[in-house]
A and B are shown apart, each in its own frame.
Chain A
Amino acid sequence: MPLTLEIALTHIRERLRQTVLSVLGVMTGVGFAVAMAALMQGSQEDFIRRIIDATPHITVRDDYRAVPWQPADTVYGAAAAVALASVKPKEELRGIRNPQPKLALLAALPGVAVAPTLRGPVVLRFGGRDVAVSLLGIEPKAEVRVSKLAEDIREGSLNDLYTTANGIIIGSGLSRKLGANLGDSVSLSSSAGTIRRAKVVGIVHSGVVAIDDATAYARLKVVQVLLDRPNVINEIRLRLDDVGNARALAQRIERRLGYRTESWEEINESVLEVFQIRNIIIYTVVGGILVVAAFGIFNIVSTIVFEKTRDIAILKSLGFTEADVRAIFVSEGFLIGSFGTVLGWGLGYALCRLLGSIEIKVRSFAEQTGLPVTYDWRHYAIAAACALTAAGLAGYLPARRAGRLDPVAIIRGAA
């Protein structure tokens, strides 16, 4: 073992109580840094996984980002000498009409599954209770390729939509609200004035509360009739093999079709931004813990330097250089930091296991049954790097002072 390290070890071993307290400080900082990072990344990944699983990766809507070009503008043009005021925009019935060519175009893209949807508001009545829901007209065969709907069905089957003339699948929350179960006949009324009876052929539970509480599914043609929108859809949902490509592909599709096309990242942008803010807050708090731990190290190394001024003088008189003396005290900081980091890793892992084992029921955006925790070696590496940097700095400042001590002044004072 290098001599400077051996001297450093003896110093901190002789001050066991102070050393233990400093090590515990670093351990706490590292442990909580690891646990918080695991929890944050876990919840973020869990959220994104749920989003990716439960919602389409790309949604083409019957909408445009810019206000449509008006016929008056077409006639007179923007550069014309005539200025028109109070132009009433042309009434446009929304919807993607004659969608088959567009669906075929999208389906031809590699690694892309496509499903058409007509989404509209309807009122679902059962047993005297009315609940406003979003009814999705889907093609079950296409749907299984873009969503987990088939897997999420708890009772019944997606294919029953084909075998039952007016079949409907309702969310589990909706089922609870209405008290409607499999086989029950519910009434659907749309804003077009159409009222139809439908039979519940499935109960779906996605885990996303907003979906389960207010969404129902029926065959596309049934919904088109109910909403009086024949041969019209208002959404094309896409599922990609490469989720990371969603934003770029959405932009390409929008340029090609003209319709507003959103990737899952764009739809959930505000939530993802909240994650960033949350990360900053929590990392600041954890950083604060590490700074406090660094102060503990600074304190013990400073105390040792103060107590060991005579030893420093004698080491210098023996021929130790300033760098040797600095190395001793920087090593002390690193030793405390290293012990604390290793213990902190253990604490962090234990906290992760503990947090991961806690069972809770939260019904917010998505139903959760436990705290999602991600185990990632990078959390441990980053926490260690931060702790060792803080420990090194905390050790270096008093070490620099120790290195500069004038041995003659100390020996004169001690004599």
Chain B
Amino acid sequence: MTAKGFVRAEGVHRVLPGPVPVTLVRAIALSIAGGEFVVVTGPSGSGKSSLLYLLGLLDRPTEGEILIEGRPTRALSRDAAAALRLASIGFVFQFHFLLPEFSALENVMLPMRRLGRLERAAMEARGRDLLATLEMADYADRRPDQLSGGQRQRVAIARALANAPKLVLADEPTGNLDSRNAEQVFVILADLAAAGHAVVAVTHNLDLAARASRRITLLDGRIVEDARTR
């Protein structure tokens, strides 16, 4: 990890083309290091999720550059970006997006199997460990439709952590959860940051945001506040 942070955005603009071009984010400059727990807040439409997708290489800036471990990513092919995402970035979404035909454990193993660095038994052991860490050990063989909303989100977090990513991006991960489950998810994210992951979470929930070490506020696609909270 570079001294300047695991992920950096330099003058990032993202404009959706069309008859009336829509600017999603503008002049974004930030750097996030491992161990940081950053929450991104702002009103709806302020560009929070767009920023997250840009940092996670799911989207590409119209201008500017996203650097992962100091490496520019704009010129990367889609496949190269996908490979980088697979190995280094974990996504958690508001909706769990678990594959319904697979069990919790199989869902967690998906990124590991795609990466193919571990033997099958090692993947399964790591998957079970991750689920156990998130108190889901007893539900490993259940399919998503046999789990509650909070449980599904934990499985989604476990899946995001499967390949031990250095950057975890969470897009309103508590949006569909009750307060108790939401609290638990944020505790998990805070623990991940404490374990050395760079964690970026988009949230509207200011109480939960208080758990983060840094808060970035967006308005109309611009960073209007970037403050350390602890």
Contacts and interface: CB of A to CB of B under 8 A. Distances in A.
Contacts of A407: 58
Interface in B83-130: 83-87, 89, 91, 93-95, 97, 99, 101-102, 110-111, 113-115
Given A317-B85, A319-B114, A408-B53, 19 more contacts: A7-B99, A310-B95, A311-B99, A314-B93, A314-B99, A315-B110, A317-B58, A318-B85, A318-B91, A318-B110, A319-B85, A319-B111, A321-B78, A321-B79, A322-B79, A323-B79, A407-B58, A411-B58, A411-B97
A316 interface: yes
B166 to A, nearest CB: 14
A415 interface: yes
A87 interface: no
B49 interface: yes
Contacts of B95: 310, 414-415
B97 A314 contact: yes
Nearest to B109: A3
Interface in B143-191: 159, 163, 171-172, 175
B82 interface: yes
A412 B95 CA distance: 11
Contacts of B79: 321-323
A318 B159 contact: yes
A321 B87 CA distance: 13
Contact of B111 (A318, A323, A408): A318
Given A412-B49, A415-B95, A324 B101 contact: no
B59 interface: yes
Contact of A318 (B59, B94, B102, B114): B114
A290 interface: no
A373 interface: no
Interface of A: 3, 7, 10-11, 13-14, 310-311, 313-324, 407-408, 411-412, 414-415
B58 to A, nearest CB: 5
Contacts of A316: 58, 82
Task: Decide if the interface of chain A is mainly helix, strand, loop or mixed.
Answer: helix
Contacts of B94: 415
B35 interface: no
A315 B95 CA distance: 14
B86 A318 contact: yes
A310 B99 CA distance: 9
B34 interface: no
B221 interface: no
A317 B78 CA distance: 12
A14 B101 contact: yes
B208 to A, nearest CB: 18
B82 A415 contact: no
A322 B86 contact: no
Q: Which 3 A-B pairs have the closest CB atoms?
A: A319-B86, A10-B101, A314-B97
Contacts of A13: 101
A180 B104 CA distance: 89
A320 B82 contact: yes
Nearest to A324: B114
A397 B59 CA distance: 25
A408 B82 contact: no
A314 B85 CA distance: 12
Contacts of A322: 78-79
Contacts of A317: 56, 58, 85, 91, 93, 97
Contacts of A408: 53, 58-59
10 contacts: A10-B102, A315-B110, A319-B82, A319-B84, A319-B86, A320-B82, A411-B53, A414-B95, A414-B97, A415-B49
Residue from B59, B84, B93, B175 whose CB has the most chain A CB atoms within 10 Å: B93
Nearest to A311: B99
B63 to A, nearest CB: 17
Nearest to B110: A318
Contacts of B101: 7, 10-11, 13-14
A331 B78 CA distance: 22
Nearest to A4: B114
Residue from A310, A311, A317, A319 whose CB has the most chain B CB atoms within 10 Å: A319
A7 to B, nearest CB: 7
A3 B85 contact: no
B89 to A, nearest CB: 8
Interface string B14-39: 00000000000000000000000000
B145 to A, nearest CB: 12
A307 to B, nearest CB: 10
A320 B56 contact: no
B94 to A, nearest CB: 5
A7 B82 CA distance: 19
Contacts of A324: 114
A310 B95 CA distance: 10
A317 B175 CA distance: 19
A215 to B, nearest CB: 72
Residue from A3, A318, A323, A415 whose CB has the most chain B CB atoms within 10 Å: A318
Contacts of B159: 318
A240 B227 CA distance: 100
Contacts of B85: 317-319
B204 to A, nearest CB: 13
